[in-house]
Amino acid sequence: MNTADLGLPVAVPSTALFTDQYELTMLQAALRSGTADRRSVFEVFTRRLPEGRRYGVVGGTGRVLDAVENFRFDETILGFLRERGILDEPTLAWLADFRFRGDIWGYPEGEVYFPGSPLMRVEGTFAEAVLLETVILSILNHDSAVAAAASRMSVAAGTRPLMEMGARRTHELGAVAASRAAYVGGFHTTSDLAAGFRYGIPTVGTSAHAFTLLHDTERDAFTAQVHSLGSGTTLLVDTFDVAEAVRTAVEVAGPDLGAVRIDSGDLLLIAHRVRQQLDELGATKTKIVVTSDLDEYAIASLAAAPVDAYGVGTQLVTGSGHPTCSMVYKLVARADSEEPGAPLRPVAKKSMGAKTSLGGRKWAARRQDEDGVATAEVIGTGTIPAELADRQLLVPLVSAGTVVAREPLDAARARHIAARDRLPLSATQLSRGEPVLATEYV
């Protein structure tokens, strides 16, 4: 069963209104001026990484493909636009038959990126390509921010598993997307059942403090949970006194207790004390899970602690301080006429400050040394140098309106881990620094 095809109540029948009004008013004006059918190339990129970050992570590509397929204007949507007086009748008639029939190229999901990287290239008529700007940016900016935070946390955790637990800290739809992005970035499981159903991500969860408080004693709560879920369950031990709870947990579940969870206090100190106590009680295989407002720095600080797994919520789903990647969607080339064979002309915004962009339809490749370690992000227009031809980063995602690059989420996750491993070692440092690869324009 392909769970991505099932949909959920959290899915929407159309993504056409996940856009800004000016995308549609530009369409109307272009239709009137006769420029709507000019062949155009838009590119997604960011001028800088979030402050202090060494690399970015492409997240959300698969969701973009779903959004493009579902970008449809049905009668209800057209009626809304008509009633508000947003568009004229010729434009509404044009939208009624809209299907994206162009091409999309992009960095595959899970790949790393740097300032200036052409993460996604949308090619088609101006009319069809401009409509996709907002929905593409909203997905990529959010999912890439979460994936980058997840990647940093994954580096800090090493081989220890990571659980995504942020559903209650964000929008209910954003929670599903965040779970997906976190999995791409290196997390192993999620507590969000909608994400598990929609994307096949393994799910976890046992009990909260409320379950302990429901019962007359902590022993009663532990007994009820073990009887229901078995001795391999995870018991929450910090509702009252941790030492007493650990002792009770082992008495109730026996030495085969699966794990104990600590959700507050000095995690480093408590983890050491709990590990010693578990070992003294004969529960040498019982694991310790910590879940208290963690971020990559807190996880790194616990590297020497006897912790077996981490649960992360707020900091993960908010991008660990950087909830967006500041990606933009810019027209970089367009034809001089509506003729199918008209050549493309590079175009670019020129302005004061740092908001300039480079014109031209771009390719991207990653230079490597003899050991396969990346040394530079190379970006250019025209013909790619022969020595970089087999290291191109953009792959076809949509061809003539048909999605050609759907893949299992595990493929994106594996790709990210492999791409991160090919970066210089300094990429894994959590301290602030510049992008680990320089961007070369040729």
Q: What are phi and psi of 262, to 5 degrees?
A: -115, 125
Q: What angle do CA 299, 300, 303 make, to 5 degrees?
A: 95
Q: CA-CA distance, 318 to 145, in Å (whole number)?
A: 8
Interacting residues of 336 by C-beta distance below 8 A, sequence separation 6+: 38, 342, 343, 345
49-81: pLDDT as tens digits: 998 899 999 999 999 999 999 999 999 999 999
pLDDT at 355 over 90: no
Position 399 scores a pLDDT of 98
Question: What spatial distance separates the first Cα and last Cα of the chain, rounded to whole Å?
Answer: 46
Q: What angle do CA 233, 235, 237 make, to 5 degrees?
A: 165
Say which DSSP state 264 is in: S
Say which DSSP state 390 is in: G
Using the Cα atoms of residue 171, residue 51, residue 379 and residue 352 in order, give the sign of their dihedral. Answer: positive
Position 5 scores a pLDDT of 52
pLDDT at 106 over 60: yes
How much is the mean pLDDT over the chain?
95
Percent of the chain with pLDDT over 70: 96
Q: CA-CA distance, 73 to 400, in Å (whole number)?
A: 19
Interacting residues of 197 by C-beta distance below 8 A, sequence separation 6+: 3, 6, 8
pLDDT at 173 over 70: yes
112-127: pLDDT as tens digits: 999 999 999 999 999 9
Percent of the chain with pLDDT over 90: 92
Over residues 324-330, mean pLDDT: 97
Q: What are phi and psi of 368, to 5 degrees?
A: -130, 155
14-51: pLDDT as tens digits: 899 999 999 999 999 999 999 999 999 999 999 999 98
Query: What pLDDT band is residue 349 in, cutting at 50, 70 and 90?
Result: confident
Q: CA-CA distance, 246 to 239, in Å (whole number)?
A: 11
pLDDT at 1 over 60: no
Residue ranges, CATH 3.20.20.70, the chain: 206-292
Superfamily, domain 206-292: Aldolase class I (3.20.20.70)
Q: How many whole angstroms from its chain centre is CA 195?
A: 13
Counting beta carbons within 10 angstroms of the beta carbon of residue 186, is it exposed (0 to 12), middle (13 to 18) or buried (19 or more)? buried
> Which among 14, 11, 340, 42 has a CA at the least distance from the CA of 194?
11
Q: CA-CA distance, 122 to 104, in Å (whole number)?
A: 5
Q: CA-CA distance, 48 to 40, in Å (whole number)?
A: 25
Does domain 3-146+322-441 match CATH 3.40.50.300? no
Decide if 422 contacts 110 (C-beta within 8 A).
Answer: no
Over residues 208-233, mean pLDDT: 98
Over residues 143-169, mean pLDDT: 97
Query: What pLDDT band is residue 236 in, cutting at 50, 70 and 90?
Result: very high
pLDDT at 100 over 50: yes
pLDDT at 356 over 80: no
Interacting residues of 383 by C-beta distance below 8 A, sequence separation 6+: none
Over residues 178-184, mean pLDDT: 98
Position 357 scores a pLDDT of 77
280-315: pLDDT as tens digits: 999 999 999 999 999 999 999 999 999 999 999 999
Residue ranges, CATH 3.20.140.10, the chain: 3-146+322-441
pLDDT at 418 over 80: yes
| Largest Cα–Cα separation, the chain | 81
Query: What pLDDT band is residue 319 in, cutting at 50, 70 and 90?
Result: very high
Q: What angle do CA 298, 299, 301 make, to 5 degrees?
A: 65
Helices (H), 166-207: 172-184, 193-199
Decide if 288 contacts 262 (C-beta within 8 A).
Answer: yes
Q: CA-CA distance, 75 to 391, in Å (whole number)?
A: 46
